[in-house]
Amino acid sequence: MNKPKMSTEKGVPSNSRVLMLLSQLERMNGDAMEKNVAMTRQVTAKILHLIQTQEKSGKEVMSKGSSGMEVILASLENTQDVQTILNILYILSELLTVGRGRRAGVFVSKGGTGILFHILITSSKELVPSEELMLQLHSLLAKVGSKDRKFGVKARLSGALNVTVNLIKQNPQNSKLLLPCLQVLRVYSANLVNAISLGKNGAVELMFKIIVPYIKKSTSLLKVALDALGALLKSKTNARRAVDGEYVPILLALYLDWHRNDTRHRHMLIRKGLLVCLRNITNIKLGRKAFIDADGMRILYNSSTECLPVRTLDPLINISSLIMRKCFPKNRLPLPTIKSAFHYQLPHVPAVGPVAQLYSQPPGVDDVVDESDDNEEADADTENDTDNEEEEKEQRSLNDDIETDLNKLHPKKSLGRPFEELRVYERFFLELSEDFQGYNIDSSKTSSTTPSSVSLSSWSASTQSTQPIIVPRDQALSPKHVPALSCQADCSPTKGISMQPSLFAPTSTLPASLNYLELDAIHLTKEQDHKENVHIPSADTQTSLSSLNFTGSFSQEQVKEQELSHVLESVSIEEQMPREAREVKQEGPSVNSTRHIQSPLLLGGITTRRVGGGGSNWGSDCGSEGADDEGGEGAVLEVPDTSLLLPLHNPDLYVEMVKGTHSVPQYAEVAYPDYFGHVTPKCREPLLERVYGVQRLKIFQDIERLIHPNDILDKVVYDLDIPSCPVIEGNGESLKFNSQFESGNLRKAVQVRKYEYDLLLNSDINSNHHHQWFYFEVSGMRVGTTYRFNIINSEKSNSQFNYGMQVLMYSVQEAISGRPCWARTGTDICYYKNHFARSSIATGGQKGKSYYTMTFSMNFSHKDDVCYFAYHYPYTYSTLKMHLSKLEALRTSQIYLRQDVLCKSLGGNDCPLLTITAMPDSNSNDHVCQFRNRPLIFLSARVHPGETNASWVMKGTLEFLMGISPLAASLREAYIFKIVPMLNPDGVVNGNHRCSLSGEDLNRQWQNPNPELHPTIYHTKGLLQYLAHIQRAPLVFCDYHGHSRKKNVFMYGCSVKETVWQSDIKATSSDLQEDLGYRALPKILSQIAPAFSMASCSFVVERSKESTARVVVWREIGVQRSYTMESTLCGCDQGKYKGLHMGTRELEEMGAQFCVALLRLKRLTVLHNHQHLLDLESDIIGTHTKVVSSSPTTYVMEEDEPSFLEAIDYSAESNDEDVEPESEHGVEVSENSNHQDHQSDSETNHRD
């Protein structure tokens, strides 16, 4: 028997009556209670009276340090007298009504729940249980149920579940007793095991007896019953029971009844409760079928549409929408196969992997759909009681991908190939052996004296075109049409040209119009830079770290940099660009002078096949009569000359480059934007603010297809799989589509409704998925009409299109009007899971997956325009070749630039390799020695074709490196740059999103690249292996990428220490000896580049990334500073560009700032004292110990964005808990709680 000793808190008056009574009760505990029932009743009644009448009495009992609750519970446990029990239950009820949570918590912690269950069981065995007692017990249980985490388990183990159910069964009319019983049942049912057990005992049917059509009375009872039912139906067995009992039509009828009668929306919670029941039933396939059979789609669609104008009914619309999306019959993508429309025969098929599977797929197999939709785990419940383990499990799976093998975490230089073999790469490193004896360096004024093995400018000549490409007629491009100024941009620059002549020492010989220097005109530093400079000692001074000598610690270089940043602040791009543009306007005839080119069709030459484009419309709008593109004679375009604004661009050169580009579909057309070029728009482009409810509106429109099938046209207007499609129709009722040009990848367009089109993207070649990137042309539009476009076979589970990103559009009409630019556009943009089934063949075995819709609306502003849409700023392989060719023209006598062809790609395209450094000051031994011994920086980009932003960043880097700024000169003098600007030319050419022609992700081949299938990776790795072999491994390796699901620019690196920290592996301190140098470069970048975010960086080594460039170069080549640099496809949420899209200007700026950061890195690394370096770096990044807490290493699996504010689960699969009523009308409910989806989709989380 329990005999707790009554103790009172210090300070509580000893004459407190209630405490004295409690002491008395305590003394009676035990035998005395049995003997003196009357006395016990009397004492408990007195206590009750005191608590009911005096607030302070309750406080005294429940005060901290008081053992009042123990005494009360002990008495409750010891007594058998019903009246005493009742008295105590009343006391407890009074006590727990006040102070809510805390008092109930005390009650639970003292074991109160168990005692109540015990009494419940005992009393239920009486012949006629006291109704009063049952009522009080359930009332109390209902009060404390939610405070006891083990409530469900205790109830089940004590056998209380059935007692409650039986009580409800026996008292169907007794609403007084019913309410607390239902409340307790609701808590019971929250536990899934309980729900199953209760279901077996008829609880589901029981609830259906209680819920009724619209009445005004006892709605609270109804509400609780619905809640309990909703919880019960989470069990699949119970859901099935409800289906078998034909309750689905009943629920729908009830819902409709309440919807119609509850005109003042007073009972929204009851309506919601009904929907929750439907939602849970439709989690099983049978439930969905029953729902469809009962005309549920129409009922919910119509009722929701009626609710739309009332914002407070949003929860109803949202659940309805969720149910309808789940039940929407899975559709088949309208494609014959999901294999790419183009086929490339591989020299040999890999033995294993996705490509092997693709090739081994028997002919005739339908790969578009399979039995995915039938996938339903056995309808029986397999749930375990997992009260505590859930969180742990989640935590574990979160860390699953971290590399925990310490052996793999330590860089292991492995040279792989024998040196004899690697010697072939020697020829790519002429600078390491060059003696310059053949050069007269001091007098070299022109580029002809600098070494050049294979010049890119000769590429187009050396490679044969594989198909006829008709180039604009010669006379159309005769020099007389080219403005005089543009010639200057083509001139080889000479020494000493400066954009701001008055601010630099050298005098300028040319007007300030040499825009290729544009990139020098960026904000290179933030304000704090000056301060930071102060702390960093230069190599040639002995200033101590602690000294704050403001004048003594600048090296010449720093001063230069500072001066420059002062200058640059007044020459920021933002100011520069409008001025340029103004010039352009003012120049009048010279700049506006036009080129006359033929219709875009004729660029391609295969006009008969290409009917999706805007050719036929084009000519008429441009004033030429009877424009007939077949002949092409009359179609004349006026095109602005952009050579001033785009020094690296030349349309003619572009066409030349296209001729040498090999594509699998043998593209013979050139897209206008690639031909004209892209000029960064003047104005900033803010992220799109998401309109509330846009997603559900789109979803409702999708559902309408099912509700009003007669509205659906389903007219195929473009189809790569049918060569004769589309048939030309002159009625102008449909848009025309085309994407048969480099990097284009539209496969099919279906006109669904008059102004709505479903678009399907082509798979990567030799693959059956990876749809995300898009680039296509639209023409034949009307003005004043809103068109809706839906890309219906996107694959990633989330997208920045949900977080402000807009699509890019290029209007040819705008280009002609002097605005040749890609602009962010589109409204009503969102990205959500749709009802098109993904076959398990495409998902790698996962069943029941769906595609995603990326939707946007567009209001065109020009009649008969030709517009292009793209996922991100296109940057074709031909564009790269053109830029590299034009880069030659930037060469000065101080610049050592060599362009080599590293190898041929699988598709026969050259893979360029650039070497950039400074020429030695002279050919003296010392200077040549300094030249050869400069540390190497190795950069690469665009292994993933869909990440075009990587190319724009690379363009910024290249232009900066070739620039004439003092910073660029210092940089070239400091390092030798080795650059592979496009690791995957074939993927880029053919419009792939992720793979090469081998159908594989090249950034997963670094461990063991195949020379035939992955030549660019094989040879790039070869270069690095060669360098490692001759002890010249690069100081920094960085591979540029783009990120589709995060904002800002950030880096991934490799650190043993930070990987160990993130995992639970045991490591000795010697395992963790690590130079912190890997953090220096990203840290510097976060200081100088506004788009860069240190908080998004990660230095964890993941298993799934073990064959990426970053990890292999770190582990095998031994490069400590081995990075992936990820640039967002969207915009920034911090820094100067917060809330803005990243345009090409910002991307190029990032590429330039990367170079500046390298210069700063140099100052850190030239310090000979290694420990000194360490200190310095830890000074920058915080102390060692601080690294853990203050340095914001983000684990890569982390959610990339907070859920966006729309209360619809965009995945339509989540079973998230109901919202508490309080929050229902307030802030929107968190949308995406589907962690599983995120985790399974590991590729999308961290892509490099």
Binding-site ranges for Zn ion (CB under 5 A) = 944, 947, 1041, 1247
- Nearer to Zn ion by Cβ, of 669 and 947: the residue is 947
Distance CA 724, CA 696 (A): 37
**Structure tokens belonging to residue 229:** 């039912």
- Nearer to Zn ion by Cβ, of 1213 and 1248: the residue is 1248
Q: Which residue is nearest to Zn ion (CB)?
A: 1041
With beta carbons less than 8 A apart as the criterion, state whether 819 and 681 touch.
yes
For the CB of residue 947, give the shortest distance to Zn ion in the complex, in Å.
5
Distance CA 662, CA 989 (A): 8
For the CB of residue 938, give the shortest distance to Zn ion in the complex, in Å.
17
CA distances from 442 to 299, 346, 496, 926, 969 (A): 86, 51, 15, 15, 16
For the CB of residue 912, give the shortest distance to Zn ion in the complex, in Å.
19
For the CB of residue 311, give the shortest distance to Zn ion in the complex, in Å.
41
With beta carbons less than 8 A apart as the criterion, state whether 896 and 919 touch.
yes
For the CB of residue 1041, give the shortest distance to Zn ion in the complex, in Å.
3
- Nearer to Zn ion by Cβ, of 659 and 770: the residue is 770
Tokens 């799976």, residue located:
397
With beta carbons less than 8 A apart as the criterion, state whether 970 and 1159 touch.
yes
- Nearer to Zn ion by Cβ, of 1045 and 1247: the residue is 1247
- Nearer to Zn ion by Cβ, of 580 and 947: the residue is 947
Enter the DSSP assignment of 574: H
**Structure tokens belonging to residue 847:** 């069943």
For the CB of residue 900, give the shortest distance to Zn ion in the complex, in Å.
25
For the CB of residue 261, give the shortest distance to Zn ion in the complex, in Å.
56
- Nearer to Zn ion by Cβ, of 279 and 1247: the residue is 1247
For the CB of residue 622, give the shortest distance to Zn ion in the complex, in Å.
41
Cβ-Cβ contacts under 8 Å for 1171 (sequence gap 6 or more) = none
- Give the torsion through C-alpha atoms of 586, 591, 592, 594, to 10 deg: 170
User: Burial code of 450-466, b = ≥16 C-beta within 10 A, e = fewer?
Assistant: bebeebbbebbeebeee
**Structure tokens belonging to residue 439:** 């050069």
Quickly list DSSP for 807-851: EEEEEHHHHHTT---EEEE-EEEEEEEEEEEEPHHHHTS--SEEE
CA distances from 623 to 71, 94, 618, 626, 637 (A): 99, 89, 9, 9, 9
Question: Which of 670, 653, 657, 664 has its CA nearest to residue 613?
Answer: 670
- What distance lies between CA 311 and its chain's CA centroid? 30
- Nearer to Zn ion by Cβ, of 672 and 1052: the residue is 1052
For the CB of residue 941, give the shortest distance to Zn ion in the complex, in Å.
10
For the CB of residue 1005, give the shortest distance to Zn ion in the complex, in Å.
13
- Nearer to Zn ion by Cβ, of 279 and 944: the residue is 944
- Nearer to Zn ion by Cβ, of 259 and 1043: the residue is 1043
Angle at 964 between CA 962 and CA 970, to 5 degrees: 85
- Nearer to Zn ion by Cβ, of 607 and 797: the residue is 797
With beta carbons less than 8 A apart as the criterion, state whether 28 and 40 touch.
yes
User: Burial code of 1123-1153, b = ≥16 C-beta within 10 A, e = fewer?
Assistant: bbbbbbbbbbbbbebeebbbbbbbbbbbbbb
- Nearer to Zn ion by Cβ, of 1029 and 1247: the residue is 1247
Cβ-Cβ contacts under 8 Å for 460 (sequence gap 6 or more) = 656, 657, 659, 660, 881, 885
For the CB of residue 482, give the shortest distance to Zn ion in the complex, in Å.
39
Q: Kindly report the backbone phi and psi dihedral angles of residue 809, in degrees, each rounded to the nearest multiple of 5, phi listed first.
A: -130, 145
Cβ-Cβ contacts under 8 Å for 919 (sequence gap 6 or more) = 436, 441, 444, 450, 893, 894, 895, 896, 931
Quickly list DSSP for 902-957: EEE-TTS-EEEEEEEEEPPSSSSHHHHHHHHTSPEEEEEE-SSTT-HHHHHHHHHH
Tokens 């660019």, residue located:
1016
Distance CA 894, CA 918 (A): 6
Angle at 993 between CA 888 and CA 797, to 5 degrees: 140
- Nearer to Zn ion by Cβ, of 148 and 1039: the residue is 1039
For the CB of residue 162, give the shortest distance to Zn ion in the complex, in Å.
58
Angle at 1128 between CA 1123 and CA 1133, to 5 degrees: 115
CA distances from 852 to 420, 1147, 1245 (A): 51, 28, 17
Question: Which of 460, 579, 449 has its CA nearest to residue 512?
Answer: 579
Name the catalytic one among 888, 1126, 1149, 1228. 1126
**Structure tokens belonging to residue 848:** 């029941």
Identity at 1041, one-letter amino acid code: H
For the CB of residue 880, give the shortest distance to Zn ion in the complex, in Å.
17
Distance CA 240, CA 286 (A): 7
Tokens 């968190």, residue located:
1230
**Structure tokens belonging to residue 1133:** 């949420």
- Nearer to Zn ion by Cβ, of 944 and 972: the residue is 944
Question: Which of 741, 882, 955 has its CA nearest to residue 459?
Answer: 882
Q: Is 1126 a catalytic residue?
A: yes
Active site residues: 1126
